[in-house]
């Protein structure tokens, strides 16, 4: 009798252990070590940070800027001696920086040389729906799309990327993304670093997994499908573990979290403070002193970092949750003196009393059942109808067990409240993408000045592709 009990307890224990191992495995707990084993033969020498080129205006003498962008196949040597198949704009990986000015008229020729359809969405840009580059602006292989718009918003660091139905995650992962920078009189007048690539440097941060042949691995495991993709290798401007030579003075970094699903908590290895001067949609009213910066997928921040207290040749690392992924080497004298400006710009607060409608958007579901308000994206269904020129309050809730970044097209938002409290200082300016934690409620306000059909969605691209997206019309 006693023996029998012990045998049953033993069987139950073994079954439990198998169950736990299976669960851990399906949640990807062992995936990291497996993937590391896969690519541990891949090596890379530390290389200088690549600086994306500024895209040339084809017609510099007119008031209208004319740009040409081609979506194309490419290849990169991320690891020594290993060629990885990629995609990019006008090049092998990522795209050039488009730089325009407020008030400028812009026309772009977007050519698709890929073997599948794509779109090109201007993330954060306030333009009409037909120029927005959402899923309705499909560019078939071999075709060209001709968006035209006028820049009607202040200086900001925006970006562009594909928004093809069900393929956004894959196409961004393959390398299709670039920065879109707006300058204006305010950015001209501020005494902050402005030498592009020297002391005004873009950092496009993305994570990737590589298979044992050194190719991008975008096989979504169960964990990737549920919480969003997370890679084991962080690229900055398309380089693994790069370094940037900086002057012994102030440097401005324009940081984009261009990752599919990873949320970064950035800090410097020497714990030095830095100053956030801009959020998604432009300058904050005042610089915000910080030691750590959280950026969800799609979010941007401009920060000022003062390297003047460091010795020549001293190195400081940029860390995400304690892991170093790029270095700054103090190598040159600073030819200019900067002090962090206290006052940056004036942002007119949108009064809550101007809002004519309050809408509720709730993140729900998990895995393939992710939704907003219980509905999954349907190209043929308009979920919300907004009046052209209306000011509205949107309340975004999260009824899931994980944080989601909410993004809407066609407008820039101001955050009114996070769970009834005013937003942190670095979120008090213009935002087009904001994180919503489980159980949290974020109230935002915007005026909808552009007509057309626009998307709102989770910016974890695996969630967007699975249907955590809806459409609103502005008429
Ligand atoms: Cu999500």
- What are the pLDDT digits (tens) for 248-279? 999 999 999 999 999 999 999 999 999 999 99
H/E stretch holding 328 reads strand 323-332
State the number of CA atoms in the 13 A half-sphere of 216 facing the CB: 26
Torsions phi, psi of 240, nearest 5? -85, 125
Check if CATH label 1.50.10.10 holds for domain 64-189: no
Q: What spacing in Å lies between the alpha carbon of 458 and ligand 1's midpoint?
A: 5
CB 148 within 8 A of CB 106: yes
> Over the stretch 326-369, which tens digit does the pLDDT of each residue have?
999 999 888 888 999 999 999 999 999 999 999 999 999 999 99
CA–CA separation, 96 and 50 (whole Å): 11
H/E stretch holding 357 reads strand 357-364
Q: What spacing in Å lies between the alpha carbon of 455 and ligand 1's midpoint?
A: 14
- Dihedral, 20, 26, 27, 33 alpha carbons, nearest 10: 100
CATH number of 200-332: 2.60.40.420
Phi/psi zone of residue 38: left (φ > 0), alpha (ψ -120 to 50 degrees), beta?
A: alpha
Q: Write the CB contacts of 30 (distance below 8 Å, at least 6 apart in sequence).
A: 24
Q: What spacing in Å lies between the alpha carbon of 266 and ligand 1's midpoint?
A: 21
pLDDT for position 39: 56
CA–CA separation, 210 and 36 (whole Å): 9
H/E stretch holding 36 reads helix 31-39
Question: Which residues crowd ion ligand 1, with CB under 5 Å?
Answer: 404, 458, 460, 463
State the fold for domain 352-474: Immunoglobulin-like (2.60.40)
Beta-bridged to residue 207, according to DSSP, are 234
CA–CA separation, 187 and 54 (whole Å): 17
CB 349 within 8 A of CB 391: no
CB 55 within 8 A of CB 67: yes
The residue extents of the domains of the chain are 64-189, 200-332, 352-474
Q: What spacing in Å lies between the alpha carbon of 173 and ligand 1's midpoint?
A: 16
Q: Which of 400, 369, 399, 360 is nearest to 467 (CA)?
A: 369
pLDDT for position 471: 98
Question: How many contiguous H segments (helices) and E segments (strands) does the chain have?
Answer: 6, 32
- Dihedral, 413, 418, 424, 429 alpha carbons, nearest 10: 10
* pLDDT digits (tens), the chain, 475 positions: 455 555 455 445 544 544 443 444 444 443 333 334 345 678 888 899 999 999 999 988 888 999 999 999 999 999 999 999 999 999 999 999 999 999 999 999 999 999 999 999 999 999 999 999 999 999 999 999 999 999 999 999 999 999 999 999 999 999 999 999 999 999 999 999 999 999 999 999 999 999 999 999 999 999 998 999 999 999 999 999 999 999 999 999 999 999 999 999 999 999 999 999 999 999 999 999 999 999 999 999 999 999 999 999 999 999 999 999 999 999 988 888 899 999 999 999 999 999 999 999 999 999 999 999 999 999 999 999 999 999 999 999 999 999 999 999 999 999 999 999 999 999 999 999 999 999 999 999 999 999 999 999 999 999 999 999 999 999 9
Torsions phi, psi of 27, nearest 5? -85, 5
3-class DSSP assignment, residue 234 = strand
Structure tokens, 44: 């890379």
3-class DSSP assignment, residue 14 = helix
Q: What spacing in Å lies between the alpha carbon of 223 and ligand 1's midpoint?
A: 13
Beta-bridged to residue 279, according to DSSP, are 282
Residue carrying the six token digits 């920078």: 181
pLDDT for position 9: 53
pLDDT for position 34: 35
Q: What spacing in Å lies between the alpha carbon of 459 and ligand 1's midpoint?
A: 6
Phi/psi zone of residue 7: left (φ > 0), alpha (ψ -120 to 50 degrees), beta?
A: alpha
Q: What spacing in Å lies between the alpha carbon of 229 and ligand 1's midpoint?
A: 11
pLDDT for position 20: 46
Q: What spacing in Å lies between the alpha carbon of 257 and ligand 1's midpoint?
A: 15
Q: What spacing in Å lies between the alpha carbon of 398 and ligand 1's midpoint?
A: 10
């Amino acid at each position: 009798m006693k023996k029998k009990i012990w045998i049953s307890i033993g069987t139950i224990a073994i079954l439990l252990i198998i169950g736990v191992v299976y669960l851990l495995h399906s949640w990807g707990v062992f995936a990291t070590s497996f993937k590391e084993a896969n690519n541990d033969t891949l090596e890379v020498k530390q290389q200088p940070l690549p600086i994306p080129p500024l895209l040339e205006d084809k017609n510099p003498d007119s008031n209208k800027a004319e740009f040409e962008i081609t979506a194309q196949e490419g290849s990169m040597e991320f690891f020594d001696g290993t060629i990885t198949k990629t995609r990019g704009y006008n090049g092998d990986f990522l795209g050039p920086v488009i730089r325009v000015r407020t008030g400028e008229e812009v026309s772009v020729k977007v050519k698709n040389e890929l073997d599948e359809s794509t779109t090109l969405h201007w993330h954060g840009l306030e333009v009409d729906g037909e120029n927005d580059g959402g899923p309705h602006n499909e560019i078939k292989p071999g075709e060209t799309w001709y968006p035209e718009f006028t820049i009607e918003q202040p200086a900001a660091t925006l970006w562009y990327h594909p928004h093809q139905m069900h393929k956004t995650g894959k196409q961004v992962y393959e390398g299709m993304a670039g920065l879109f920078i707006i300058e204006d009189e305010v950015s001209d007048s501020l005494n902050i670093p402005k030498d592009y690539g020297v002391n005004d440097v873009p950092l496009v941060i993305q994570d990737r997994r590589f298979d044992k042949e050194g190719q991008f691995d975008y096989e979504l495991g169960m964990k990737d499908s549920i919480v969003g993709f997370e890679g084991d290798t962080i690229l900055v401007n398309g380089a693994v573990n790069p370094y940037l030579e900086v002057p012994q003075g102030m440097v401005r970094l324009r940081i984009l979290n261009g990752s599919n699903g990873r949320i970064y908590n950035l800090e410097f290895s020497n714990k030095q403070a830095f100053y956030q001067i801009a959020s998604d949609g432009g300058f904050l009213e005042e610089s915000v002193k910080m030691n750590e910066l959280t950026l969800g997928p799609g979010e941007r921040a401009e920060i000022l970092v003062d390297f003047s207290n460091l010795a020549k040749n001293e190195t400081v690392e940029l860390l995400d949750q304690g892991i170093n992924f790029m270095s700054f080497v103090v190598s040159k004298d600073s030819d200019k003196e900067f002090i962090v400006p206290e006052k940056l710009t004036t942002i007119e607060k949108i009064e809550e009393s101007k809002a004519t409608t309050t809408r509720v958007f709730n993140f729900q579901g998990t895995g393939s059942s992710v939704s907003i308000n219980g509905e999954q994206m349907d190209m043929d269904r308009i979920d919300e109808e907004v009046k052209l020129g209306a000011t509205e309050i949107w309340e975004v809730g999260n009824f899931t067990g994980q944080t989601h970044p909410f993004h809407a097209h066609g407008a820039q938002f101001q955050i009114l409240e996070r769970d009834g409290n005013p937003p942190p200082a670095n979120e008090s300016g213009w935002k087009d993408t904001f994180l919503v934690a489980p159980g949290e409620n974020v109230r935002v306000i915007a005026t909808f000045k552009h007509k057309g059909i626009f998307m709102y969605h989770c910016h974890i691209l695996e969630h967007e592709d699975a249907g955590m997206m809806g459409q609103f019309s502005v008429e």
